[in-house]
Structure 1
Amino acid sequence: MKIERIHHVAYRCRDAKETVQFYTEMLNMGFVLAIAEDKVPSTHEPDPYMHVFLDAGAGNVLAFFELPTKPDMGRDENTPPWVQHIAFQVKDREALLEYRDHLEKNGVEVLGVTDHSIFHSIYFFDPNGHRVELAAPDPDQQKALERLDSVKWDMLEEWSRTKRAPKHADWLHAKEFETS
């Protein structure tokens, strides 16, 4: 048995049309399809919904549910907003900077570029409050990934014992934040 790939990832949205417009206009994703029903197919629970699907590239699909009969969306208040997010890869740093400029010109507040050594990222929130990351591979990504691979099990074991950040890869964020 082996998982082949992610079929789709689904989140809740406040407004399906606004969400589709954001992802098509801000991130250039294609609007793939929409499904709407009055009851949930898996549970048969009566609950009207709109389910929209967006092309996230390379066969990846991002989906959203609008649930008009449910209470307003909330979030887990015990989890910081930076933790739960979805990250999309872009071709290179030039594309990352183009996206940052495009988003900012359209009124989206963007954080970064952040240098993670293996990739560089920008962060922003969609209209639903979901954090989104765009990541571009670092030119030395393979070398850094090999270095990280060699310490992953030791790091996990130390973390499991101590619940303190192991120092095996403290080089990773040596260049914490850059502005251009």
Structure 2
Amino acid sequence: MEVKELGHIVLYVRNLERSVRFYRDVLGWRQILPDGDKGRDVLPVPVAAFAAPSGRTHHELLLIEVGEDAAGLPRGRRVGLYHFGLKVGDSDDELREAVRTLQEAGVPILGASDHTVTHSVYIADPDGNEIELYIDVPGVNWREDPTLIASPIKPLRL
């Protein structure tokens, strides 16, 4: 077997409507489900599916509502998902625009890093799932030298 690519991410969320507003209205994902009355009864729980505007695949993010009383993510060292990365462009100007959008929406920036191959800012969704928003740094050829991903992490100044 050979994995060809990362296909999609599925997240449990407390409040589907709140999470849809975040992923659709703040991050700009294209919502594909539910689409009007289509898809409302697909699963026995409320869900929403999204695809990136690139149309790379059928869906890249699925949200499943589990209710406001669901346990939160544990803090500190733990096993499981740390964060997932979303590419927002190929230039620092595009990353700056993303930061402006986040600030206008009141989304706190948790951190910013220069990883040599990427410039990244870190945020959390309404349920505390950490997200890295990044750009590939122009002129850095990580395809020819994959070890560049292990470069020392530096503070990012946009």
If asked which structure has higher relative contact order (CA below 8 Å, sep 6+), I would say 2
Amino acid at match of 1:21: R
CA offsets, 1:118-157, max 9 Å, x none?
11001111111111111100123215860617xx9xxxxx
Which runs of 5 or more structure 2 residues have no equivalent in the other structure?
A: none
Aligned amino acid, residue 87 of structure 1: G
Indicate the structure (1 or 2) with the bigger Cα radius of gyration: 1
2:102 and 2:118 map into 1 onto residues whose CA distance is 20
Q: Which residue of 2 aligns with 1:8?
A: 8
TM-score, length-scaled by structure 1 = 0.70
Structure 1 unaligned segments of length 5 or more: list them. 41-47, 153-168
Contact persistence 1:14–1:73 (CA under 8 A): no
Q: Greater helix percent: which structure?
A: 1
Query: Structure 1, residues 28-62: CA drift from partner, whole Å, max 9, x if none?
Result: 11111135669x7xxxxxxx521211113422511
Q: Do 2:88 and 2:98's aligned partners in 1 also have CA atoms closer than 8 Å? A: no
CA contact (8 A) 2:111 2:123 kept: no
Q: Is the 8 A contact 2:122 2:130 kept in 1?
A: yes
Aligned structure 1 segments of 4 or more residues deviating by more than 4 angstroms:
35-38
1:75 Cα shift?
1.7
Per-residue deviation, 1:73 = 2.9
Q: Output the CA distance in 1 between the equivalents of 2:51 and 2:45.
A: 20
Percent sequence identity is 24
TM-score by length of 2: 0.78
Residue 102 (structure 2) pairs with residue 103 (structure 1): yes
Provide the alpha-carbon RMSD of the alignment. Answer: 2.9
Partner of 2:19: 19
Distance of aligned partners of 1:90 and 1:143 in 2 relative to their CA distance in 1, 3 Å threshold = same
What's the offset of the Cα at 1:76? Answer: 3.5
